[in-house]
Amino acid sequence: MKPQNMNRRKFLKTMAAATAGVVLAKQARPVFAALPKVKITKVSIYDAPNPNRLFNQSNMVVLITTDNGIIGVGEGGSKDTLEQCAGRLIGRNPFDIEAAWQDMYRSFFYPPGREKIHALGALDMALWDIKAKALDVPVYELLGGMNRKHVECYQTGGGGGGTVKDQAARAIQAGYRAYRMDAASLGRGNTVYESHERVRQVIADCKAAREGVGKDGDWLIDLHQRFDFIDAVHACKGMEEYELYLAEDPVRTEAFLEDIPKLRLQTSVPIAAGEEWGQRWDFNKLVENHDLDYIRTTLPNVGGISEMHKIAAMCETHFVGIVPHFTGPISSAALIHVLGPFAGPCMMEYNFGAGKYEYLPELLDFKEGKLWPNQRPGLGVKVDPTKCKLLLEVTEFVGGRTLYFRPDGSMTNW
């Protein structure tokens, strides 16, 4: 036998042993297995200890229970909208998330408006939590895995009092990526907002914000739709020299589709909008035409993780970033799982310090102005329902309209 053949055999034998070692090492860790046969038996709806029932920022807690003991956690909606959607889940396989979403969306006469999409999003969030828990992985692992080390955050108001400059400086010193302020709010008790005069104050505040964050810092402003179109133009053009990260909601929501494209042509200020939007059909044209630089859509407002993941893909296609608005604490924790795999620029609003809530013994990992992923299964959130008020338990299937399906079994409509 030639020496080179002996070396080759020795090499192959060594590689085979090394490969076997890798296999054994992998077998020692949890591995993906077939999903168990599971069905949903109950959906429980709770008020949080400090309830916020405004549908677009609802912190209502949703727990979906399965017959093998896995419980999914979600947040959002209202009692009435959750009850109807939850009734469509009883008896279903919780792992068929897209089919469940389509069923809840299409099973009744009217297509869901923003209020009902919020409830659908809360339940969708809980379904993703169940599936990831069944596989013993974080939800972000099911969405492609983390594509960033952490999610950068901005702080609204800078914490404490003082001037705009002082607040902006404190936010940067605390480790936040950026400082955010609103559009020249009035003092308490004063409700007469004279927009022409306020535009001048906004521009003065923008100068102070730039001075506070320094030449390398970032800052944002929320114009809160307070200005008619021409005032919005004046405000945006006046703040251009101070190099802001974005201007949010510069024009009225009712006129977004008409006025944002016009504003885009008249200013170099990066534009963001969307905290009041629901599903992606509210704004897809603005993204596709790149009339926006950032969207502010969030969970569960858009319809849950299923929809937010699709929106992220749409934004990546058109080079639009995501700077989601906050809603409740559970939804904030869920956002990490969608933003982590997203390839575009993103930043989160977070004003709650380490996020201590008596009914949420496990929530999210926040430090030095950043939100960090963790290895806990599912959303990484634990709820203590004894600290909440039970409003309703749904245990019976709720019928809807007769649905039609394509020959391949996919849902079309009733």
**For the chain, what are the domain ranges?**
40-136+386-394, 141-379
Residues 6+ apart with CB under 8 A from 131: 35, 94, 95, 97, 139, 142
Under 8 Å between Cβ of 253 and 276: yes
pLDDT band, residue 1 (cuts 50/70/90):
very low
40-136+386-394 topology per CATH: Enolase-like; domain 1 (3.30.390)
pLDDT exceeding 90 applies to what percent of the chain?
A: 71
CB 120 within 8 A of CB 67: no
Q: How far is CA 185 from the centre of its chain?
A: 27
More confident residue, 161 or 372: 372
Burial 28-45 (b: 16+ CB within 10 A, else e): eeeeeeeeeebebebbbb
What is 141-379's CATH number? 3.20.20.120
| Closest of 301, 296, 305, 383 to residue 341, by C-alpha | 305
Q: Does residue 3 register a pLDDT over 50?
A: no
**What is the predicted pLDDT for the residue at 413?**
83
pLDDT score of 32: 52
The CA-based angle 324-307-303, given to 5 degrees, is 80
User: What's the confidence (pLDDT) of residue 112?
Assistant: 80
Give pLDDT tens digits for 334-343. Answer: 999 999 999 9
What is the pLDDT averaged over residues 127-148?
97
pLDDT value at residue 13: 52
d(CA 196, CA 173): 33
Q: pLDDT over 70 for what percent of the chain? A: 91
Q: How many helices (H) and strands (E) does the chain have?
A: 12, 14
Whole-number pLDDT of residue 353 = 52
Interval 176-183 mean pLDDT: 94
CA angle 120, 142, 148 (to 5 degrees): 105
> Quick one: which H or E segment has residue 18?
helix 3-27
**Confidence band of 194 (pLDDT split at 50, 70, 90):** confident
Contacts of 325 (CB under 8 A, 6+ apart): 274, 275, 296, 297, 298, 301, 349
- pLDDT on residue 64: 98
* CB neighbours of residue 103 within 10 Å: 17
- 139-142's contacts with Cβ under 8 Å and 24+ in sequence apart are 139/305, 139/334, 139/337, 139/378, 139/379, 140/336, 140/337, 140/338, 140/340, 140/341, 140/373
**305-326 b/e (C-beta count within 10 Å ≥ 16 → b):** bbbbbebbeebeeeebbbbbbb
Q: What is the mean pLDDT of the chain?
A: 89
Q: What is the mean pLDDT of residues 220-235?
A: 94
Q: Please determine, for residue 264, whether its predicted confidence score (pLDDT) is greater than 90.
A: yes
User: Does pLDDT of 8 surpass 50?
Assistant: no
As a whole number of angstroms, the distance between CA 300 and CA 334 comes to 9
Is the pLDDT at 284 greater than 90? The verdict is yes
Amino acid 23: pLDDT: 39
